[in-house]
Amino acid sequence: MTDERHPLRRIWVLMATVFVDMMGFFIVLPLLPFYAEKLGADPVRIGGLVSTFALAQLVTAPLWGRLSDRFGRRPMILCGLLISAGAYIIFESASVVWLLFLSRFVQGMGSGTTGVVQAYVSDSIAREDRAKAIGWLTAGTSAGVMLGPVVGSLGATLGWLGPGYIAAGLCLLNFAFGWVWLREPRSRDRVRQNKERQERGATRRAMLDVVRHPRGPVGSMIWVYSLGMMAFMAMNGIFALYLERVFGIDETTIGWFFTYVGGVSLLMRSLAIGPVVKRFGERRTMRLGAITIAIGMATVPFARTIPELGLAVLFIPVGTALLFPTSTSIVSRRAPEDQVGMILGVQQAFGGTARLLGPIWAGAVFQYVGIRWPFWIAAVVMALGRLFVGRMDEEEPIDGETVLAATTPKEPV
- Look up the CATH number of the domain holding residue 276: 1.20.1250.20
* Rounded distance between C-alpha atoms, residue 118 and residue 133, angstroms: 10
The answer as to whether 373 is a domain residue is yes
The answer as to whether 137 is a domain residue is yes
The residue type of 159 is G
Q: Tell me the H-state helices in 183-281.
A: 189-197, 202-212, 219-247, 254-267, 273-280
Dihedral sign for Cα atoms in the order 231, 236, 238, 241: positive
The answer as to whether 188 is a domain residue is no
The answer as to whether 190 is a domain residue is no
In angstroms, what CA-CA distances link 149 with 25, 137, 265?
A: 9, 19, 14
The answer as to whether 91 is a domain residue is yes
User: 24: pLDDT confidence band, cut at 50, 70 and 90?
Assistant: confident
Print the SS3 string covering 108-164: HHHHHHHHHHHHHHHHHCCHHHHHHHHHHHHHHHHHHHHHHHHHHHHHHCCCCCCHH
* Confidence (pLDDT) at 396: 45
* Rounded distance between C-alpha atoms, residue 304 and residue 309, angstroms: 7
**How many other CB atoms are found less than 10 A from the CB of residue 253?**
15
CA 336 to centroid of chain Cα atoms: 25
Q: What pTM value is reported for the model?
A: 0.78
Question: pLDDT of 234-279, one tens digit each?
Answer: 988 899 899 999 999 988 888 888 888 888 888 887 788 878 888 8
The answer as to whether 57 is a domain residue is yes
Residue pair 328/344 in contact (Cβ under 8 Å)? The answer is yes
Structural domains of the chain, count: 1
How big is the CA angle at 291 (ends 286 and 293), to the nearest 5 degrees? 95
* Confidence (pLDDT) at 4: 46
**How many other CB atoms are found less than 10 A from the CB of residue 5?**
9
Residue-range definition of the domain harbouring residue 346 = 2-182+203-404
* Confidence (pLDDT) at 298: 96
The answer as to whether 283 is a domain residue is yes
The answer as to whether 146 is a domain residue is yes
Could you say which DSSP state residue 306 is in? Answer: H
Question: pLDDT of 328-354, one tens digit each?
Answer: 778 877 777 666 666 777 787 788 889
In sequence order, the 6+-apart residues with CB closer than 8 A to the CB of 192 are none
